[in-house]
Structure 1
Amino acid sequence: MCGRYVSTRGPDDLARQFQIADQDLGDPLPPSWNVAPTDEVWAVLERPPRDASTGAPAARHLRRLRWGLVPSWARDTKIGARLINARVETVHEKPAFRRAFARRRCLLPADGFYEWQRIEDRETGRTRKQPYFIHAADDQVMALAGLYEYWRDPDARHDDDPSAWLTTCTIITTEATDAAGRVHPRMPLTVADEHYDVWLDPSHQDTGALRDLLEQPAGGRLDARPVSAAVNNVRNNGPQLVDAVAGPETGPTPPDRDPGP
């Protein structure tokens, strides 16, 4: 599971990295070292023109989406808090995700992500959760593989009312290996830059080929360092959250098995 991550790059930097020509980015999101479910996040996506008769190709955009996918058929938005992750093993067939996986894929830029490891205190017998910041060994931005979906508020009277629509997203996860696997059994998947075009193109709908594009963050070259428990509180933010702290002095218990959505 990926339940928190770090996203500090500004829209201009992201537009350059992801080759986004659309410069109407709206109000920029502030950098966050503690992105939490239901927060607004940056997402890179491609959409075809509204007038399909022009024959113009899909255009790439940088958009603000809410983290926690709300399917179009949901009665209300509460389900989004439970759908922050989609398992790669079943993403192409689960009712909440399969339509988005076929047509509405995105990239969620991240500096890294947090996972928690259960640590047992041998003196007291109690367990606590030690947070770790997991990031690319070269500190490059990760392009987390995501999906997005549109949800219309049934109480809104008009489709052209901006408040009638909510656009949300989820992160695709897999079994964790390497540094992440020693902390938690699940981890987010990413898309390499040479595959951005295919992943984002809504006309590509071969689910098998699309799943083959997904890979471990940084090709598995990850570093994990213990950080302060201050990250546990969503109200805390700032670069100090990713500073290394002294590691746990007692041995870890086996990672929790996360069934996921």
Structure 2
Amino acid sequence: MCGRYSEAKELAELAERFDLELEDGEDYQTTYNASPGSVLPVITNTDPKHLTFMKWWLLPHWSKTREFRYETFNAKAEELTWKPSFRSLLTTKRCLVPATGFYEWKDITPVEKDMFGQVITKPKRKKEREIYFINLKKEHIFSFAGLWDEWVDPQSGEVIRTFSVITTAANELVKPIHPDRMPIILPREAEKYWLDTGLSQAEVLNLLQPYEASLMQSQPLKAIDCFPV
């Protein structure tokens, strides 16, 4: 999964990295703690030259209410072609999610055994976890593959824009920290294709691969007083 990430770079750096056109007085604040429910910048296929600010937790356009009923801040790559929240977005509403790194929590709880040496599957001891910051070795700014949607309030006409970060199986670097999932990081040369709505569904799905582990790095964060977990 991907539940926290960092996009702490100045606006000018993002503009240069993604070849964006800045608006006068554009309101942008960097954050080391991008979390689900926050309003964050993305780059959409319909407006690839500008940042668009959306809420991180996808609200499907077909939802009857504005309530976020499902855990749609992540979208599993394997489910995109059939899951109702995402299947229509795969070929119509894709986005880049700028980031400088993401966080994962590693379970470091000591194994407990009973008097016979058998592992206790449901120990009473509270789990211990260590936070890791994971980023790329040579790319200070990169992008996650994302999907976005628009929900229109039937009463007021208000438009709510939201997005989801796509995840895949963990690669060899992430697996020892978080065994199951990792966000899909797009290689720089693949970003333009991800925003190209002319691609077939098969071509789009082919872009959704775990990032090369040898190009990534991780480090444990021992003390993060400013990071609420």
Q: Which amino acid aligns with 1:135?
A: N
Distance in 1, matches of 2:183 and 2:204, equals 16
Q: Which amino acid aligns with 1:154?
A: P
Contact 2:168–2:208 (CA under 8 A) maintained in structure 1? no
Distance in 2, matches of 1:94 and 1:220, equals 32
Shift of 1:172: 0.5
Shift of 1:105: 0.4
Report the counterpart of residue 27 of structure 1 in structure 2. Answer: 26
Q: Which amino acid aligns with 1:197?
A: K
Q: Which amino acid aligns with 1:114?
A: Y
Residues 180-231 of structure 1 show CA distances to partners (whole Å, capped at 9, x for unaligned) of 1111121000222222222102333x12111112333466522111113647
Report the counterpart of residue 118 of structure 2 in structure 1. Answer: none
Distance in 2, matches of 1:231 and 1:92, equals 39
Q: Which amino acid aligns with 2:173?
A: A
Question: Which structure 1 segments of 5+ residues have no match?
Answer: 48-57, 235-261
Q: Do residues 11 (structure 1) and 14 (structure 2) align?
A: no
Contact 1:132–1:225 (CA under 8 A) maintained in structure 2? yes
Distance in 1, matches of 2:53 and 2:65, equals 20
Q: Do residues 144 (structure 1) and 144 (structure 2) align?
A: yes
Residues 86-131 of structure 1 show CA distances to partners (whole Å, capped at 9, x for unaligned) of 0011112211001111111010011110111111146895421211
Q: Do residues 100 (structure 1) and 89 (structure 2) align?
A: yes
Instruction: Give 1 or 2: higher helix fraction.
Output: 1
Instruction: Report the CA distance shift for 1:232/1:63 in structure 2 as closer, same or farther (over 3 A).
Output: same
Q: Do residues 167 (structure 1) and 156 (structure 2) align?
A: no
Indicate the SS of the match to 2:85: coil
TM-score between both structures, scaled by the size of structure 2: 0.84
Contact 1:11–1:28 (CA under 8 A) maintained in structure 2? no
Contact 1:115–1:183 (CA under 8 A) maintained in structure 2? yes
Instruction: Report the CA distance shift for 1:34/1:78 in structure 2 as closer, same or farther (over 3 A).
Output: same
User: Identity percentage over the alignment?
Assistant: 29
Shift of 1:153: 1.5
Distance in 1, matches of 2:16 and 2:227, equals 32
Report the counterpart of residue 197 of structure 1 in structure 2. Answer: 192
Q: Which amino acid aligns with 1:118?
A: D
Instruction: Report the CA distance shift for 1:220/1:44 in structure 2 as closer, same or farther (over 3 A).
Output: farther
Distance in 2, matches of 1:26 and 1:180, equals 39
User: What are the within-5 Å matches in structure 2 for residues 48-127 of structure 1?
Assistant: 60-79=49-68, 82-121=71-110, 125-127=125-127
Q: Which amino acid aligns with 1:102?
A: T
